[in-house]
Structure 1
Amino acid sequence: MTHFGILCPGAIGHLNPMCNIARELLERGHRVTLFGVPDTQAKVAAVAGLEFAQIGAAAFPLGTIDRKYKELGLMSNLDGLKYTIEWLEQQTKMLCAEAPRAIEARGIDVLLVDQVTRIGGSIAELLALPFVTICNALPINQEPSVPPFFTTWTYQDILWARVRNQLGNNLFNYLTKSVWQAIVVQRQAWQLPPLTDREAGYSQLLQICQLPPEFDFPRQASARMNYLGPFQAPASSEPISFPGLDFPFEQLTDKPLIYASLGTLQNQQLQIFEAIATACADLDAQLVISLGDPDRDPTEIQLAGNPIVVAYAPHAALIARSSLVITHAGMNTVIGSLSAGVPLVAIPITNEQPGIATRLARTGAGEMVPVKSLTAERLRQSIDRVLGDASYRTQAQRMQAIVQQSGGVKRAADLILAIC
């Protein structure tokens, strides 16, 4: 039996795939402990057998994470990215202060580290533990031919595009210099050798992501990255959900279903929901909108066309019944929809969502409407094209077949156990 430790952000989009990997490892007879701040404990409580070790209670007291999510949900584009980076810096400093002692006390054998938890690799090195880098969102590995993850730049492996990409990477490295400096200073304090570059902080044993390779841009260094498809459970349920919130399935009709969700982070901008509702108001279809916030009262929101509006929806179950998914281009929603062969219209808001939406459009399985140019009219045009042109569903079904052969969470567990 191996005892695995998990370090990842407390966002549901990161916790759900990590918990699916944890459940697979638990079913194979291993032990798994997730290290998280107080707000995380209640979210992962439903994962049977998963142990929880609380850290960061002073820096992130109960309620802090939910408050930060709501603040981030009001932001878009570069503002949202900068806010996320500031948050990651705070998490990095907290992990430096508390995680090594907590991990050592629990007797962890192997660490599973979310790619955005950059200090995780250094903690593993300090404790002489093997670790795996897990990309639960879009891989952020930098290389010349791949546009930065926070842009909508298309892939072109030519000189001017490489120069553009490098400038974008330089901007990202500048914006994240405080996080990087915190890592550099801490490694010095721990008497660890300096990292040669930012890529060196990822696992040299195993890096995995929940994309099929056909979804990502071509990468020169892809041999180190294992593309496994979504880390999702076979059943149409997520480890982290809100079972007390019942969905009115009896209100669904036989009309084509359009499911709209802005996830659990970028969900505070009512004008985006209004644009979605207006764009769908006179379609011969039924619109379901998930507000992505279990504390929100959907009856307080009046939207055009009388859609079904709920605080939080059974994500996978609704995607499986949908003719179209409208999304902020969160990784789990996009890959979940493609896994079901459902085309999408993406409205990327911030962080890695522009990069995900650009890749989606490149597959031909959906369209992208950048949030800065979002209007109900423009969104309606994209909806009409995706619903009216069978090629979008054909491409979504092509991606579905690819996903089914990718290995997913079982292959992830195989690879993780192979390094133990």
Structure 2
Amino acid sequence: MSGFLFVVPPLVGHINPAVGVAAELGARGHRVAWVCPDAGLVRRLAGAEAAVYPCAGAADGERPADLRGAEALRFLWEWFLLPLADEMAPGVRAAVADFHPDVVVADQQAFAGALVAERLGLPWATSATTSAEFGGAYDGIPKVAGWLRDRLAELRGRIGDPAGSADPRFSPHLTLAFTTPELAGPTDRPAVRHVGPSISARPAADGFPWEWLDPSRDRVLVSLGTANADAGGRFLAECVSALRDRADRVQALVADPGGTLPPAADDKDLLIRPTLPQLPLLERVDAVVCHAGHNTVCEALWHGVPLVVAPIRDDQPVIAGQVVDAGAGIRVRFGRVTAAKLGAALDTVLYEPAHRAAAARIRIAFRAAGGAPVAATHLETLAAEESR
């Protein structure tokens, strides 16, 4: 049996797709361990028995709510991704020395995993929790693309093999893409394997009032993810207004982790909670309004649910474009949308069949791709090839 070391940032959306793959490998008898700055978070998502090596590093620092575009990207790299790689690298090296993995599985934004593996001569695979860069998202912005290359070259000089040349975001051995071309479009990057979403069981949602759901009305789930609580107040308020106007035919569930909305106690039309059990709810809702985060989009489409997407920053505009190009949803402007425009978009995805049909097509493709079991098989193949 082989050993697989998963290197992940302390972000739920980046750990969740790896959880199912790690569980599948463990069920097949392989050794599995993790490296993450937040061991408690990994154990909460992957199970209390998960073997997690400690390392330094902090979660994504708060960014100004109005930061967008290239400025937001620069902030993400300079204040989170690059420092995180430097901080994680000693812990990754220590974990490799103790665990002796056959393959390092590095999240696409946990550069330390890829570069430390490169320096130590270990095969590594990329866990790509977003497909935004597969199609050359920055090709049309050469200054941005050049700036990113320069920063990665400097990082390689500090923690990787100075003679190396592989982009640490894309393993030359294996890149696991948790999507399919039906959503993401084709890619000419080598070694990419489209495995579809890795959907695995999550901790039970104790205390959720399932009896609140009204089977006589359509249901809409609204979520901006846990990382956008600081930016979502105005947008969520517009959502609530649009949904209130449709209360005769729509029930709404709104995730509000930042507490920006007034509570809606004993309200039969609107349920506001800091967190919602997203996966089981997606089995029961008719549309999703979200920020075009890759995980939320793919989980919705895994269930064949059409979307209204309002990208905020980072990879979200690219993912929103994929949703629109695939016909599975409508894009609105996060910073300027009104209740009227949002309501019109909701009416379209709820009551016109084209978007639901497109979401159903992607659902079929996602499930045919195989998810975590197929990803685990690709990793087994890599380990076997490298051991010859």
The answer, yes or no, to whether TM exceeds 0.5 is: yes
- Of residues 99, 121, 132, the one that matches 1:128 is 121
Alignment of 1:64-75 (within 5 A): 64-65=58-59, 68=60, 71-72=62-63, 74-75=65-66
User: For the structure 1 residues 76 and 392, does the alpha-carbon distance in structure 2 shift closer, same or farther, using more than 3 Å as the test?
Assistant: farther
| 8 Å contact from structure 1 (residues 73, 266) kept in 2 | no
1:253 counterpart SS class: coil
Secondary structure (helix, strand or coil) at the match of 1:246 reads coil
Aligned length: 375
Matched, 1:103 2:108: no
1:171 counterpart residue number: 144
So what's the TM-score if we normalise by structure 2?
Answer: 0.89
In the other structure, the counterpart of 2:373 is 410
Structure 1: runs of 5 or more not aligned: 149-164
- For 2:228 and 2:184, how far apart are their aligned partners in 1? 23
1:325 aligns with 2:288: yes
State which of 54, 57, 74 in structure 2 corresponds to 1:82.
74
- CA distance in structure 2 between the aligned counterparts of 1:387 and 1:334, rounded to whole angstroms: 16
Contact 2:220 2:252 in 1 (8 A): yes
Aligned partner letter, 1:108 = P
Q: Structure 2 counterpart of 1:257, which letter?
A: R
Specify the alignment match of 1:373 in structure 2.
Answer: 336
**CA displacement at 1:281 relative to structure 2:** 1.3
Deviation at 1:371, TM superposition (A): 1.7
Matched with 2:234 is 271
Question: Which of 305, 309, 321 lines up with 1:346 in the alignment?
Answer: 309
Match of 2:130 in 1: 137
Partner of 1:253: 214
Structure-2 change in CA distance of 1:179 and 1:278 (3 Å): farther
Q: Which moved more, 1:45-54 or 1:4-13?
A: 45-54
SS in 2 for 1:41: helix
Question: 2:317, 2:149 → 1: CA distance?
Answer: 18
Pairing of 1:8-407 with structure 2 (within 5 A): 8-37=8-37, 39-45=38-44, 47-48=46-47, 49-56=49-56, 60=57, 64-65=58-59, 68=60, 71-72=62-63, 74-78=65-69, 79-85=71-77, 86-141=79-134, 146=135, 148=137, 166-174=139-147, 177-187=150-160, 192-195=162-165, 199=167, 202-221=170-189, 223-233=190-200, 237-238=201-202, 241=203, 243=204, 246-254=207-215, 255-268=217-230, 269-283=232-246, 284-291=249-256, 293=257, 300-301=262-263, 307-407=270-370
> Is the 8 Å Cα contact of residues 4 and 112 (structure 1) preserved in structure 2?
yes
Task: Quote how far apart the aligned CAs of 1:120 are.
Answer: 2.3
The 4+ residue runs of structure 1 with deviation greater than 6 A are: 302-305
Give 2:337's aligned amino acid: L
Q: Secondary structure at the match of 2:197?
A: coil
In 2, Cα distance between equivalents of 1:73 and 1:393: 35
Letter in 1 for 2:381: A
Letter in 1 for 2:380: L
Task: Decide whether aligned partners of structure 1 residues 125 and 147 sit closer, same or farther in structure 2, where only a CA change above 3 A counts.
Answer: closer
Counterparts in 2 of 1:261 and 1:95: CA distance versus 1, 3 Å: same
Counterpart of 2:125 in structure 1: which amino acid? V
Distance 1:201 1:275, change over 3 A: closer
Contact 2:19 2:45 in 1 (8 A): no
Identity of counterpart residues, as a percentage? 24
Secondary structure, aligned partner of 2:235: helix
In the alignment, is the contact (CA less than 8 A) between 2:233 and 2:261 conserved in 1? no
- Give the structure-1-normalised TM-score: 0.82
Corresponding residue SS for 1:33: strand
